[in-house]
Amino acid sequence: MTRRQITHLVCVAAVVVSGLGAAAPADSRTAPKALRIHRVQPGESIQKAVDAARPGDTVVLSPGTYRESVRITVSNLTLRGSVAGPAVLVPGPAAADNACATAGNGICVIGTKDSPVKRITLRSLTIRGFAKNGLWATWTDQLKVQNVTAEQNGQWGLAQERSVRGVFSRNVARDNGDAGLFVANTIDREDGAQDSKGTVVSNNRLTGNRIGVTVRRLRNLTVERNEATGNCAAVFVVGDEGTPRAGAMTVRRNHIHANNKLCPKTPRLPFLQGSGIVLTGTEKTLVTKNRVEDNVGDSPLSGGIVLFKSFVGASNENNEIRDNVVLRNGAADLADHDPGRNNTFRDNTCGVSAPAGLC
């Protein structure tokens, strides 16, 4: 190596060292706080880990059974199971200060009107056997529920109200007392429909519930690519005479088959059996490219795709039913039992309609 080459290397090294030395203080001043992972073992408290978490942290549950309810009120938090095996939440002793548990819920995500809880992710969990709801969420923004199994809960499997931009995907909801998956404007009063700002219910499997998916008094929402079978009814889109009206949503590419379980009547609805997709009191909803087969029953709401006035007498208006495959449903594949205006049926593959001529 020549003297000139040695001199060049020394100069380069000096510049690099100098640059590193100068950069260190700036990096230390601007580096974000490290996000933390809180690991919980069966027998330990999930709630304590959640309470200790900062925004951005993740709580990871090791495989096993956890006998408790969990309340989440901090934003930017992930609660998930481990890749090593299932984490299962079941009812346990209800502490007096745990309102989620005393209400009979498994996981509660609770915000307020002025301060909604934002960007909560629940993933890879099983929520089983709670007296009321597996998941109950209110006043949330961008709640994500993915790969969660909600089963054998007394009312709803996965439920949210007063919330926007939610994503419910790749979940299993089975054998719950009412809806497997329930999204609504509010449950404590009759009110006009709320803009859900693009909530998505997709790629879920819904079996053995009273109703697979209930969408109540909402607008701007998509229900797509779900499978519903073995329920009393598969999909209910529910509105009323409130202002704004429910609707302005899309129900597409769902596979809905053999929802023939029998459920008794309620104060709002007649007995249910054999209902595929039911629109009641809604407007401007597009129902398209669904496959609806073998849903058979004798209820007034039985049939493949059914339009029915709401329990308060509000009619459906300006809904579009097109490009669906609707076969072997009883009493009809397409059933319009509603005097509402401007509801259109076109380009559907079906055999029997009521009234005749809709196929």
Alpha carbon distance 323, 316 (integer Å): 19
**Residue closest to 223 by CA, chosen among 264, 282, 169:** 169
Alpha carbon distance 93, 108 (integer Å): 16
CA dihedral over 296, 300, 305, 311, signed as positive or negative: negative
Q: What is the pLDDT of residue 98?
A: 84
**Residue closest to 250 by CA, chosen among 201, 285, 217:** 285
**Residue closest to 198 by CA, chosen among 154, 164, 169:** 164
Across the chain, which has 359 residues, the per-10-residue mean pLDDT values are: 44 39 42 78 97 96 97 97 95 82 96 97 98 98 98 98 98 98 91 95 98 97 98 95 91 98 92 97 97 97 94 89 98 94 97 96
Residue 8: left (phi > 0), alpha (psi -120 to 50), or beta?
alpha
For residue 344, the surrounding DSSP H or E stretch is strand 344-346
Q: What is the pLDDT of residue 350?
A: 98
On the CB side of 59, how many CA atoms lie within 13 Å of its CA? 26
Domain boundaries, the chain: 178-354
With 0-12 / 13-18 / 19 or more C-beta atoms within 10 angstroms meaning exposed / middle / buried, residue 242 is middle
Q: What is the pLDDT of residue 33?
A: 58
Q: What is the pLDDT of residue 11?
A: 42
CA-to-CA dists, residue 172 to 115, 134, 178, 269, 318, angstroms: 30, 12, 14, 25, 32
Q: Which two tokens stand for residue 349?
A: 């593959």
Alpha carbon distance 117, 100 (integer Å): 16
List, in order, residues 6 or more apart from 27 with CB less than 8 Å away.
none
The residue type at 254:
N
DSSP 21: H
